[in-house]
Chains A and B, each alone.
Chain A
Amino acid sequence: MNALIAMGTWCVDGLSRLGKCAVFFLRTLACCVTPPLKFDRVIKQIWFIGWKSMPVICLTAVFTGMVLALQGHPTLRRVGSEAFLGPLIALSLIRELGPVLAALMVTGRAGSSITAQIGIMRINDQIDALELMGLNPFRYLVVPNLIAFVFAMPLLSAIFDVVAIFGGYLLGVRVLGLNSGAYFGEMNNYVVLHDIATGVYKSMCFGALIASVCCYKGFHSRYGAEGVSSATTRAVVDASVLVLVWDYLLTSLIS
């Protein structure tokens, strides 16, 4: 009986948290479409989320491409289809790995930082101070992050794809001796606009998801250093898990 009660409580708490997060997201959306928009803060956040994530995105992308080439090449060689290494790497990246891995890396780098920043503002009364100045904290803190994430994620994902394809080229062509023309030529034949569009949709959704979860966790951070630390950890874990779950749901829908 106790186990049943505990399970029920857990479910109700989970649904309640999900509901609060959804209300938070809808409130942010409402602020996105009503003036005034803090344009300068949007630009600043695009710079912070997008530009400052470039090194980590490029680094992880090049190794991802190399690993894909390393794993794909022997398998394709067994069936005599090494020429398809290019399309294999490109399609894996553009449809799935690019958006997902870029989202996970950005969650760790920028998402965690945003949660900690908003969390510290919460515990130091800075958010209350904003409200008492007659400013809407959503408009000032959450909306710029949401817009910046939605804009920056497809760009970061595209950069991830390009760098990873280059990484695959370095290993497949320069190290494993595959023909350069075959690597890029077959890619042109197999990658279609729909694949690229799928990657862009996914990245935009992931951007909205990461921004909502990370800002929500920061906003509802508990007091003290431990509260902010816990909120940051939860934000990264929850956003990462949700990115993977959402990726599955989107892929099912698009397929």
Chain B
Amino acid sequence: MIRIENLTKSFGEQEVLRGVSLQVNSGEFVALVGMSGSGKSLLLRHLVRLMRPDSGRVLVDGRDVGKMPRYELEALRSRVGYVFQSGALFDSINVFDNVAFPLREKTRLSETVIRQKVMEELDQVGLKDVEHKYPAELSGGMLKRVALARTLVRAPEIILFDEPTTGLDPIVVNSILNLFDSVHKRLKLTGILVSHEIPEIFGIVQKIAMLHEGVIAAVETPENIHHSQNPVIAQFVAGKPDGPIRYR
């Protein structure tokens, strides 16, 4: 279980997170939505201590991530899969080596077993035939799927997706979201998905949390979000330029 309690983070005068609280139960898949620049990715980075909060805390299975000693943090990170917005693939090695990388570096598996695992994961994401290509030779959608394969090959228990579908066409977006859905159902992972893809995400998550003006404005089921009377949520879901949400 992931529990975020009154998390705040500022950069100079700019207060980005002003007391975020959120709970994600084990096996639950939660979408985190909000305006661009509202701090969604920033919040995600706090969950694995890529950033430290000014105040507040993040608890994973009851343990405070901010106070974890190095060895415990590494153990936590080995349980967490993080799919970056950019994919964060190593551009100097090919797709196969990218997916094999964590296994080669963190396990003592033989090259034969590694090959088998990597090909299985690439097959799962529908990219068995691109193993020899370099990241620069792949389309945006393929990059995200390779990044997902690299994350899944480590068999994580918690998975964090940072805008994995931004900038992709609707068909690729749906194929990637369906892939996430099948992965979640197959592996029973706890997951947080940062996304702007409304209403596409409605069918794959159990809850939607909306981050607005540095706090969680609502945590509801997709159905309730869809029919919400809350003017902030209604404006965001409808994508209307006029309303309480002021955009820059």
Contacts and interface: CB of A to CB of B under 8 A. Distances in A.
A149 to B, nearest CB: 19
A135 to B, nearest CB: 6
Contacts of B90: 121, 126, 129
Interface string A114-139: 00000011001110110111110000
Nearest to B81: A132
Contacts, number: 42
A132 B106 contact: no
Nearest to B79: A134
B84 A134 contact: no
Contact of A128 (B88, B91, B106): B88
B52 interface: no
B86 A125 contact: yes
Nearest to A127: B88
Interface size, B (range): 20 to 34
Nearest to A120: B91
Nearest to B90: A126
Nearest to B78: A134
Interface size, A (range): 10 to 19
Contact of A129 (B45, B84, B106): B84
Contacts of A134: 74, 77-78, 106
Contacts of B105: 133, 135
B181 to A, nearest CB: 23
A124 B101 contact: no
A128 B77 contact: no
A125 B77 contact: no
B176 interface: no
A47 to B, nearest CB: 14
A125 B87 CA distance: 8
Contacts of A129: 82, 84, 88, 90
Nearest to A117: B92
Contact of B102 (A120, A121, A133): A133
Interface in B83-117: 84-86, 88-91, 101-102, 105-106
A134 B73 CA distance: 9
Contacts of A132: 48, 50, 77, 80, 82
B135 to A, nearest CB: 10
26 contacts: A120-B91, A121-B90, A124-B86, A125-B84, A125-B86, A125-B88, A126-B88, A126-B89, A126-B91, A128-B45, A128-B50, A129-B84, A131-B50, A131-B77, A132-B48, A132-B50, A132-B77, A132-B80, A133-B101, A133-B102, A133-B105, A133-B106, A134-B78, A134-B106, A135-B105, A135-B106
Interface of B: 45, 48, 50, 74, 77-78, 80, 82, 84-86, 88-91, 101-102, 105-106, 154
Given A126-B91, A128-B50, A133-B102, 8 more contacts: A124-B91, A125-B86, A129-B88, A129-B90, A133-B77, A133-B106, A134-B74, A134-B77
